[in-house]
Amino acid sequence: METKRSEIAVTVNGTRYGWPSQPVVVVCIDGGDPAYLRQALACGVVPNIDRFIETGFGAVADASMPSFTCPNNMSIITGTPTSAHGISGNYYLDTATGEAVVMTGPELLRGETILAGFARAGARVASITAKDKLRRQLGKGLDLSRGSVCFSSERAAQCTVEENGIADVRDLVGMSQPDIYSPELSLFVLEAGIRLLERDRPDLMYLSLTDWVQHKFAPEEKEAMAFYAAIDACFGRLAELHAVVALTADHGMSDKSNEAGRPRVIWLQDILDACFGKGETTVICPITDAFLLQHGALGGFVRVWCRGKTPASAILALVRGIEGVDLALDKEAACRLFDMPPDREGDVEVVSQPGWCIGAAEADHDLSGLVGHRLRSHGGLSEAKVPFILSHALNRDYRRKAASGVLRSYRIFDYAINGTRG
């Protein structure tokens, strides 16, 4: 006897997902700090989100630490904390070679993605990201031979059926190739999602934006509100196409400049070198990526590896006294507190206060891209609160769940799929 699709369940990384009765679209608003949403709701520029919160569900959830793009996108797409999926930043130090290793390869991602699990069970899925650096991990194990797609707006022009499951993305979307430093890079993702939903009606979609707007503009600035109005209109169109729309963010965003408009930076490698000597420690800034003009590789979280005789305890004693440091923890405490993977952690983790960021050696950071605007960045605990919004109301089980424990952003697929079923 044939099993009805509605009776199929898919288990991914220990979580059981029922078969969605209507398309489910999860959107990661990169850098979507709750402060932007508060401002946008107060200004009345996001009527669709307003309605979702009113008739569906709206809360603020905890993101994974460190509050960076890669760890949180992987948490959302696998439904697990970083301790399970292993992506702890954009870079970690390979202690065998002493080299910083980029962490965007799918081979470093542990476990399966929810999209790959559903595609394996016969679903049509779509993964669209603004930044190509995320694409290969989001597409890990994803079978593209049966109508599923995985592409980035950054490389929209280079899409092929073989690599992405789709070609001619610009034609589909009706937009030209957007610049990587533009709001259009995100809007392209949403437009593509809308067109695919109209054309193919995928069962599951993941749309991941970029935080260019939030790095550049504070919530009070008109450019930020124009962006929110534009993405809200897209959310409305997705809902009109009878999708369950779920909104979250990978992390928030804080102003990290002083009164003069200059970045307030702790140059940690310089401080450690001056105290313990060169070569004793290596500071890795896990925010480092190709989008340097946005943040100068300065974020609210860094890792320190002991490379000589200096013990972690001596580093902790020094670092805890530095102005602007929020928390300094050894590996064991950090992994316990933040549920992070020990084999990719440094010996010491340092988190900055909201108004501060942490760099390595001043000479190694290019801040030329920041001239003329205040540094806004993320990585710390102060940027680990994110919106958690659903267009549909929760069922009784999930209402209870939401009310009785800490809400984690990596549960958004679970809530959107299982929590909105009658």
Q: Which is nearer to Zn ion, 74 or 125 (CB)?
A: 74
Per the DSSP assignment, residues forming a β-bridge with 253 are none
Comparing CB distances to Zn ion, the nearer of 232 and 250 is: 250
Distance between CA 407 and CA 59 in Å, rounded? 8
Show the site string, 193-232: x = touches Zn ion by CB under 5 A, - = not: ------------------x---------------------
**How are beta strands 149-152 and 9-12 bridged, if at all?**
unpaired
CB nearer to Zn ion: pick between 68 and 413? 68
Minimum distance of Zn ion from residue 137's CB (angstroms): 14
Alpha-carbon distance values, 128 to 83, 147, 251, 351 (Å): 25, 14, 18, 31
Contact 133, 74 (CB under 8 A): no
First to last CA, the chain: 25
| Of the candidate residues 33, 184, 250, 345, the single one contacting Zn ion (CB under 5 A) | 250
Min dist CB 31 to Zn ion, Å, is: 5
Kindly tell me the burial class for residue 384, based on how many C-beta atoms sit within 10 Å of its own C-beta (0-12, 13-18, 19 or more).
buried
| 154 makes contact with Zn ion (CB under 5 A) | no
Alpha helices in 296-362 (DSSP H): 312-319, 331-338
Instruction: Select 79 or 379, whichever has its Cβ closest to Zn ion.
Output: 379
**Closest C-alpha among 303, 301, 298 to residue 284:** 303
> Facing residues of 49 across strands?
none
Range in contact with Zn ion (rule: CB under 5 A) among 14-22, 68-76, 172-180, 309-317:
68-76
**Span of 30-38, 40-48, 121-129, 150-158 interacting with Zn ion by CB under 5 A:** 30-38
The residues near 293 (Cβ < 8 Å, ≥ 6 apart) are 181, 369, 370
Binding window for Zn ion (CB under 5 A); candidates: 26-34, 78-86, 186-194, 222-230: 26-34
DSSP conformation letters of 103-146? ---GGG--S--HHHHHHHTT--EEEEESSHHHHHHHTTT---TT
Nearer to Zn ion, 79 or 296 (CB): 296
184 near Zn ion (CB under 5 A): no
Residue of minimal CB distance from Zn ion? 69
The distance of closest approach from Cβ of residue 45 to Zn ion in the complex, given in angstroms and rounded to an integer, is 22
Size of the site for Zn ion (CB under 5 A): 4
Contact flag: residue 67 with Zn ion (CB under 5 A): no
Shortest CB 320 distance to Zn ion, Å: 26
Residue of 64, 69, 310, 420 interacting with Zn ion (CB under 5 A): 69
Q: Which lies closer to Zn ion via its Cβ, residue 109 or residue 312? A: 109
Q: If binding is defined by CB under 5 A, does position 254 make contact with Zn ion?
A: no
Binding mask 71-100 for Zn ion (x = CB under 5 A): ------------------------------
In the bound state with Zn ion, the residue whose beta carbon lies nearer, of 154 and 330, is: 154
**In whole angstroms, how close is the CB of 405 to Zn ion at the nearest point?**
25
List CB contacts of 359: < 8 A, sequence separation 6 or more. Answer: 265, 266, 267, 268, 269, 285, 296, 297, 298, 302, 365
> Among residues 359, 357, 362, which one has the least CA distance to residue 382?
357
Tell me how far the alpha carbon of residue 332 is from its chain's centroid: 24
CB neighbours of 364 closer than 8 A, spacing ≥ 6? Answer: 269
Residue 383 within binding range of Zn ion, rule CB under 5 A: no
Smallest gap from residue 288 Cβ to Zn ion (A):
11
Query: Which one of 24, 30, 212, 390 is in contact with Zn ion (CB under 5 A)?
Result: 30
Angle at 412 between CA 335 and CA 231, to 5 degrees: 115
Site of interaction with Zn ion (CB under 5 A): 30, 69, 211, 250
